[in-house]
Amino acid sequence: MGSVARRCGSFACRKPSEIMRLVVTTFIGLVFGFFIGVSFPTLSLTKLNLPSGLLPSIDLAYLEGKYTNRWSLMKNNNNTKSTSPLKQLKHEAKIWVPSNPRGAERLPPAIVEAESDYYLRRLWGKPSEDITFKPKYLVTFTVGAGQKRNIDAAVKKFSGNFTILLFHYDGRTTEWDEFEWSKRAIHVSARKQTKWWYSKRFLHPDIVAPYDYIFIWDEDLGLEHFNAEEYLRLVKKHGLEISQPGLEPNKGLTWQMTKRRVRQEVHKVTQEKEGWCSDPHLPPCAAFVEIMAPVFSRDAWRCVWHMIQNDLVHGWGLDFALRKCVEPAHEKIGVVDAQWIVHQGVPSLGNQGEKEPGKAPWQGVRDRCQKEWQMFQIRMADSEKEYYQSMGYDVSNYSVPMFS
């Protein structure tokens, strides 16, 4: 009898009601402990290592994140009582603005500066007080130090309304400090590079956007009979988007279109050699200026810049394609006769070519110019053909025109 009594004192001999009470008590204790744990974010639930089958319907990671965020918000509200919802908004919503410039889509639009300028600024003081006057026009010359006197005379024909930008193909920039205006000018230097190489890299439309007109001129021009402000007055009067001054007829004349007409303000058409003009409204009889002294409106330059090829540095053939950037071209491209210049024909940059056996340095440069003209014509024709073909037109008879 004594042995039986000892056995009944074990867990197995307890009454069913007592067993159930124990199970329920244990379960309630676990649940209570669980909720105590999730109420305090400093204790990670994922580190409790509870048996996977004990609470099969509860996602611990989800609950931890949910209650941790809620606890943090409650704590911040209690501490500051005025916290801006911006932090929560930035956490929940990322900025993406497709209309921003490429690469800047993650920025809020109000902070994006898509354009720049060549206005000089101070190193001190308030930024808002740096610029007391903003020039409306830009003139560039591609220069060597040997033409300092000529450029000095030329710059004096441009008022304070112009930003002066010099591209130095010989690397000699400090020698220009003798001129007071040079100290206010912008100087960019790269040896043995042409003005179209410079223009493609330093005259991006978004950089020169503040300027109404952009002059991109050679260094060997005589401006004795030229006034820049009067020139632009005539440009605006006659609605020219692309223009150049008339050329003095006795020197440096290649095309009839650019020849100065006496007793005229502006001309837009001319007569050329027989067979040169398939259409009186096309180059070189109309819609044409040369590349030695072109002047572009802001909108026209934005188009022309995209047409300049990175590797075709001399720009030959570009003058025949300028018409593609304005419409109607025969009305918006012209020559200003009342303000005329002289092309002096100084072979400065051309003489910096590489000397070859039996050839002067300038001859190699000239050969490349002619090759680039042919290459540009072919590229333009091929690109137009590809476009029209993509639009469903028959291009089987399309060919490269004499002057594209």
List the chain domain ranges: 114-345, 353-403
Find residue 222's DSSP bridge partners: 342
Alpha-carbon span 65 to 70, nearest angstrom? 9
What pLDDT does 403 receive? Answer: 55
Point out the residues of the chain with pLDDT beneath 70.
1-19, 22-24, 27, 29-92, 250-252, 350, 400-404
Beta carbons within 8 Å of 344's beta carbon, 6+ residues apart: 150, 220, 221, 222, 251, 252
pLDDT for res 240: 98
Residue 58's pLDDT is what? 43
Torsion sign across C-alpha atoms 238, 303, 221, 270: negative
- For the CA atoms of 66, 69, 71, 76, the dihedral, rounded to the nearest 10 degrees, stands at -160
Cα–Cα distance measured from residue 187 to residue 201, given in angstroms and rounded to the nearest whole number: 14
For residue 276, give both structure tokens: 């040169």
Which residue pairs from 72-78 have beta carbons closer than 8 angstroms and sit at least 24 positions apart in sequence?
72/41
Compute the distance between CA of residue 110 and CA of residue 188 in angstroms, rounded to an integer.
31
pLDDT of residue 6: 44
Helix or strand run (H / E) with residue 377: helix 361-390
Predicted pLDDT at 38: 52
Rounded-to-integer distance, Cα 110 and Cα 143, Å: 39
3-state class percentages of the chain: helix first, strand second, coil last, to nearest 5: 40, 15, 45
81: left (phi over 0), alpha (psi -120 to 50) or beta: left
The reply to whether CATH 3.90.550 applies to domain 114-345 is yes
Interval 126-151: pLDDT, tens: 999 999 999 999 999 999 999 999 99
Q: What is the pLDDT of residue 17?
A: 66
Contact 216, 230 (CB under 8 A): no
